[in-house]
């Protein structure tokens, strides 16, 4: 039987579209369908040097920009050296491919395939900032990942300079508040995940946006820190984020190139996770000193000075009224009174300034008198949810099925921190179990060992931008496991 030209065309179109509707094939087979997702699970701890050195067991500490990536309660957790009603903190971290070569970063059971000769094919960038005002705190942090894949050069020499770049970001926007004399801190926020795929050509210096998707989830957390006690309990629950591509996004890239054909996913998923932690501190240093809000401490002085201002206004009105009744020179009396009351107002301003300076000096004195030596013990358990019918980022870009996230994942974490040389050197070490999300990985999960340090180096107020006597620190961390090694460095203020 012969088919007409129209029927032949319809049959060819049907055969071409069937793979896109098929189920995800078996592991090791080329991806020839759009009916799959990408599992955006983060295995190794990627954060600040302190969080890495403490093996990610940071949910119970949950303070500063370091904690904002771990729990949404962190923006409102005040540290002892926060000595103003309004305070802020900033953080920045970056990891480059040089620390990831010849490693199995995703714990798939095979080496991570990085393009040769590329300096920006695999990049991790973390930015974070918090703003605190009284009992409230606002935090924003973003984790960026960039992964590039060169096209096959044997079958497409004309387009050999093409490079696919997948950029993934997870952003946290958090609002937190402390209660009960800052002993309980509760926070909530949004978790926004995005994936963008672009095509770049080094020869023509062109870039084309091919695919983008974004989605939003929610998170909540708490830190319980009873004043003057030596323990903290913290936790964070983050809902999953599932995104779908925009309506005008293509379903297949390079459809006429069998080697480089790339079927784009119908969704990407950041799985839900639950992080529960406990911190216990040994030694003379207090883990939870009572935080003093300078505005509250100065309230009594401000109320007294406000009363004096009202009293001056009352006295002025009374004296002018009496002068007017006695038919005296009201203008002369007003000038004399204004001069006298202005002097009193200036003295009151000096009184307030002196009270502010004395309070700041008292807070600094309390900080100096805090015992430095301590041994901080930390533990946490992270539970991560499933991502059905999904592959990893590396599998997506390599166009090969390696299922990821088929079952729940558990990651216990333990760490210790101490100030070995009081006011000069802090050391920390920890260990955590990184589960594999890939059933095909015969090696299974792996155990990480982490170390880190902070060392005080020199005082410098940066030409008056920082308080007098500000000292600086240098720090670093190492994270090693089977087929994985990461490192980071940092510089900041010593507290």
* Last residue in a domain, options 369, 388, 420: 369
pTM: 0.81
Contact call for residues 37 and 390 (beta carbons, < 8 A): yes
Question: For residue 5, is it within any domain?
Answer: no
391, 355: one domain: no
Lowest mean pLDDT among 68-77, 199-208, 239-248, 473-482: 199-208
358, 460: one domain: no
304-353 confidence digits (pLDDT tens): 889 989 998 998 898 888 888 888 888 888 888 888 888 988 998 998 88
CATH number, domain of 120, equals: 2.40.160
Question: For residue 11, is it within any domain?
Answer: no
249, 351: one domain: no
102, 44: one domain: yes
pLDDT band at 359 (very low <50, low <70, confident <90, very high): confident
36, 173: one domain: yes
48-93 confidence digits (pLDDT tens): 889 999 999 999 999 988 888 899 999 999 988 887 888 888 777 7
* Last residue in a domain, options 323, 344, 369: 369
Question: For residue 14, is it within any domain?
Answer: no
392-424 confidence digits (pLDDT tens): 988 887 888 999 999 999 999 999 999 988 889
Q: What is the mean pLDDT of the chain?
A: 84
User: What number is the average pLDDT over the span 251-255?
Assistant: 78
How far, in Å, CA of 120 to CA of 360, rounded? 46
169, 304: one domain: no
pLDDT band at 113 (very low <50, low <70, confident <90, very high): low
352, 437: one domain: no
User: What number is the average pLDDT over the span 250-275?
Assistant: 84
Question: For residue 2, is it within any domain?
Answer: no
Question: For residue 88, is it within any domain?
Answer: yes
Q: Does the pLDDT at position 14 exceed 50?
A: no
pLDDT at 115: 54
Question: For residue 120, is it within any domain?
Answer: yes
Instruction: Give the residue with greater pLDDT, 427 vs 202.
Output: 427
449, 307: one domain: no
281, 302: one domain: no
468, 411: one domain: yes
- Neighbour-count burial of 90, counting CB atoms closer than 10 A to its CB (0-12 exposed, 13-18 middle, 19+ buried): exposed
pLDDT at 98: 53
Instruction: Give the residue with greater pLDDT, 375 vs 88.
Output: 375
pLDDT band at 151 (very low <50, low <70, confident <90, very high): low
Residue 268 φ then ψ, to 5° = -125, 150
pLDDT band at 224 (very low <50, low <70, confident <90, very high): very high
Question: For residue 15, is it within any domain?
Answer: no
341, 278: one domain: no
328, 277: one domain: no
Which residue segment(s) compose the domain that 345 sits in? 294-369
pLDDT band at 11 (very low <50, low <70, confident <90, very high): very low
Q: How many domains does the chain have?
A: 2
Question: For residue 1, is it within any domain?
Answer: no
* Last residue in a domain, options 313, 347, 369: 369
């Amino acid at each position: 039987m012969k088919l007409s030209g129209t029927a032949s065309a319809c049959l060819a179109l049907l055969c071409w579209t069937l793979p896109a509707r098929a189920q995800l094939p078996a592991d090791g087979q080329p991806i020839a369908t759009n009916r799959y997702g990408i599992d955006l699970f983060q295995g190794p701890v990627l954060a600040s040097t302190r969080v890495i050195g403490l093996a990610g067991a940071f949910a119970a500490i949950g303070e500063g920009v370091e904690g904002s990536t771990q729990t949404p309660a962190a923006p409102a957790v005040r540290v002892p050296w926060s000595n103003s009603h309004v305070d802020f903190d900033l953080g920045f971290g970056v990891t480059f491919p040089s620390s990831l070569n010849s490693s199995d970063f995703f714990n798939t059971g095979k080496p991570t395939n990085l393009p040769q000769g590329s300096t920006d094919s695999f990049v991790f960038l973390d930015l974070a900032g918090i703003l605190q005002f009284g009992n409230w705190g606002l935090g924003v942090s973003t984790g960026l990942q960039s992964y590039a894949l060169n096209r096959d050069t044997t079958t497409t020499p004309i387009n050999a300079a093409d490079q696919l770049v997948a950029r993934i970001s997870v952003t946290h926007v958090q609002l937190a508040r402390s209660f009960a004399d800052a002993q309980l801190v509760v926070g909530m926020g949004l978790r926004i995940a995005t994936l963008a795929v672009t095509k770049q050509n080094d020869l023509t210096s062109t870039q084309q946006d091919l695919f983008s998707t974004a989605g939003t989830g929610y998170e909540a957390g708490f830190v319980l820190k009873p004043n003057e006690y030596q323990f903290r309990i913290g936790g964070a629950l983050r809902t999953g984020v599932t995104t779908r591509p925009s309506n005008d996004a293509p379903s297949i890239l390079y459809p006429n190139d069998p080697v480089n054909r790339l079927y784009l996913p119908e969704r990407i998923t950041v799985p839900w996770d639950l992080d529960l932690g406990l911190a216990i501190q040994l030694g003379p240093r207090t883990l939870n000193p009572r935080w003093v809000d300078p505005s509250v401490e100065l309230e009594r002085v401000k109320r007294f000075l406000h009363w004096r201002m009202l009293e001056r206004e009352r006295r002025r009105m009374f004296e002018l009224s009496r002068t007017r009744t006695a038919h005296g020179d009201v203008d002369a009396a007003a000038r004399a009174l204004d001069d006298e009351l202005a002097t009193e107002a200036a003295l009151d301003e000096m009184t307030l300034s002196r009270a502010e300076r004395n309070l700041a000096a008292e807070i600094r004195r309390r900080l100096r008198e805090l015992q430095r030596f301590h041994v901080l013990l930390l533990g946490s358990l992270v539970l991560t949810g499933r991502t059905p019918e999904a592959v990893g980022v590396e599998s997506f870009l390599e166009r090969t099925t390696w299922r990821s996230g088929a079952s729940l994942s558990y990651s216990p974490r333990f760490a210790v921190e101490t100030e070995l040389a009081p006011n000069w050197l802090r050391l920390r070490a920890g260990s955590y179990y990184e589960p594999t999300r890939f059933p095909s990985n015969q090696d299974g999960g792996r155990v990480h060992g982490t170390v880190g340090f902070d060392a005080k180096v020199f005082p410098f107020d940066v030409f008056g931008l920082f308080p007098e006597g500000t000292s600086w620190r240098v720090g670093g961390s190492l994270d090693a496991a089977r087929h994985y090694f990461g490192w980071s460095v940092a510089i900041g203020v010593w507290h």
